[in-house]
């Protein structure tokens, strides 16, 4: 998808289509984190620390259950 920026007063705005926002779980009230590596701009929803901790627990459980398979796949 290609987009162009829209001039808004002294700034530029990026207008995102509704299907894209819905796919990312973003609405008008979603706080966004914006970062760059100097070449790419990354926009992502700020997730709660509870959600992040839950995901970490799930990943740790998967790692413990399937550690052997992960090692074999890495070879």
Cβ 40 vs Cβ 46: under 8 Å: no
> Residue ranges of the domains in the chain?
6-74
Q: What pLDDT shows up at residue 31?
A: 92
Q: What pLDDT shows up at residue 35?
A: 94
Burial of 21 (0-12, 13-18, 19+ CB in 10 A): middle
Question: Block means of pLDDT (10 residues each) for the chain, length 75 residues?
Answer: 93 95 92 94 85 86 86 85
């Amino acid at each position: 998808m290609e987009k162009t920026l829209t001039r808004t007063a002294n700034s530029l705005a990026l207008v995102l289509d509704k299907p894209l926002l819905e796919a990312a779980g973003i609405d008008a009230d979603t706080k966004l984190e914006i970062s760059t590596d100097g070449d790419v701009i990354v926009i992502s929803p700020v997730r709660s620390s509870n959600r992040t901790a839950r995901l970490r627990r799930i990943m740790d459980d998967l790692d413990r259950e399937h550690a052997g398979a992960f090692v074999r796949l890495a070879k």
